[in-house]
Amino acid sequence: MKLLFHLRKQMTTDTDGLKEVRKSIHDNASLSSSYLLMNALATIVACYGLLADSTAVVIGAMVIAMLLGPITGIALGLVDGDNQLLQNAFIAEIVGALTVVSIAFVIGTIHQNIPVGHEIMARTAPNIFDLIIALAGGAAGAYATASPRISSVGLVGVAIATALVPPLSTFSMLLARGETQLAFGALLLFFANFVAIQFATSVVLWLLGYHGITSITRQSPLNIFARNAFSGILLLGLAAILGFNFTQSISQQLLEIRVHKIVSANLKTFPDAQLVEVNITTDDSVLNLLVTVRTSRQLTYAEIVNLQEVIAIDLQRPVSLKLIDVPTVKLDPLVPPTFTPTPTATNTPTYTPTATPTSTPTLTNTPTSTTTNTPTFTSTATPTATNTPTPTPTLTETPTPTFTPTMTDTLTLIPFEIITLTPSRVSP
């Protein structure tokens, strides 16, 4: 109490600091394009983080989201009597929530075939622990907002601890799949966080003296209590609902542990039987059990009926049993044989170079033309008979080319021609 009184005295004496914090709350509670953009991006990150079952990505979406600012504005508007701030903050929160729901519904419709993971299922069954976490987180957020030295770090932690966008995204995506019961469980978590954060923030801001710095006339504690009575009633109603959910969850867990022990004890009488899984659902007063076991031989109908009777007698309630028997084969330990590698002759084709006979051209004597005197006829005025000696042609023998096979090159034949000269006849 002394610490609280000291903080309140320090805050009330620092008028400039109070005005600065109050202005910051007004700014964060207003509807703007940046507010809508950040919430839209946070929704996309949260949806795909939930679908990918990634905790780290979902935490990132919590930090990006800006739905916490209008809740702080609602809390300050209630304790300070500022109806204009209260109205603006409510509008900003509703528009931001509708933006998240719309985008998440579209993403959920597109990816209906992706199986639901743990991150989604964890937000469909809120209990009293979630309400307590939201109350503590709201109080921490209010104190961080009023203390500029720790506001940046404190608000990040509050955003992670008291998530708003992930449960709202879970609600919308499950609604797109037609899973209404699970969807409203996620909506209940969002509503519990919203009310708990607002109530805790209002209490902390009032204790820090923020109700005294307003342009409106000072309010009495009774007037402040009346303005926050509705959120207090909502908080009590949520505490009752979540407390009931918590007791139901504990009872369900204890029942599952008990049934698991009974089934495991009775399966020991069967050879090589191994319990895999036990699923429990309740339909009116009947307990529906889905038991999966592995056995080396298939259980008989009489053995299954006997197991059902034992469970019903032990629990003292009607039991419906569905047993899935997965056949298994158990082999004795086998010592692997030792293999000694022995060399074996193998015919491996190898390629060796072989000499290939090729034709090689040989040098041949090529005949060359020789100059011969050709007789000419000369006309004269007085024709006289002249004897012109004509050289007799000689026959030249040309050696015939021979083909000699060799192992290297190819044969090249050079064409030749035999020239035979015939004597010309001179006219008299």
pLDDT in tens, 205-245: 888 877 654 444 455 666 666 666 777 788 888 888 888 88
Contacts (Cβ under 8 Å, ≥6 apart) of 72? 25, 28, 29, 89, 141, 142, 145, 201
Split at pLDDT 50, 70, 90, the class of 397 is: low
- Greater confidence (368 vs 230) lies with 230
Give the domain extent around 310: 253-327
What pLDDT is recorded for position 301? 86
Query: Which of 30-34, 210-214, 332-336 has the weakest average pLDDT?
Result: 210-214
Cα-atom radius of gyration of the chain, to the nearest Å?
52
My answer on whether 54 and 101 are in the same domain is yes
Residue 319 pLDDT more than 70? yes
Q: How far apart are CA 303 and CA 315, in angstroms?
A: 19
Q: Total structural domains in the chain? A: 2
Would 23 be classed as within a structural domain?
yes
My answer on whether 100 and 179 are in the same domain is yes
My answer on whether 158 and 299 are in the same domain is no
Would 337 be classed as within a structural domain?
no
- What's the distance, Cα to Cα, between the start and end of the chain in Å? 164
Would 417 be classed as within a structural domain?
no
Residue 318 pLDDT more than 70? yes
What pLDDT is recorded for position 210? 76
Q: What is the mean pLDDT of residues 69-93?
A: 88
My answer on whether 45 and 109 are in the same domain is yes
What pLDDT is recorded for position 356? 58
My answer on whether 85 and 153 are in the same domain is yes
327, 361, 385 — which closes off a domain?
327
Q: How far apart are CA 26 and CA 261, in angstroms?
A: 57
Would 406 be classed as within a structural domain?
no
Beta partners for residue 274, in sequence order:
294
Would 185 be classed as within a structural domain?
yes
Split at pLDDT 50, 70, 90, the class of 166 is: very high
Split at pLDDT 50, 70, 90, the class of 98 is: very high
Would 223 be classed as within a structural domain?
yes
pLDDT in tens, 299-316: 888 888 888 888 888 888
Split at pLDDT 50, 70, 90, the class of 354 is: low
pLDDT in tens, 280-292: 888 778 888 888 8
My answer on whether 34 and 102 are in the same domain is yes
pLDDT-above-90 percentage for the chain? 19
pLDDT in tens, 131-140: 898 888 888 8
Helix, strand, coil proportions of the chain in percent (round to 5)? 55, 10, 35
Would 341 be classed as within a structural domain?
no
**Domain containing 64 — which CATH number?**
1.20.1080
Residue 149 pLDDT more than 70? no
pLDDT-above-70 percentage for the chain? 68
What pLDDT is recorded for position 213? 46
What pLDDT is recorded for position 287? 86
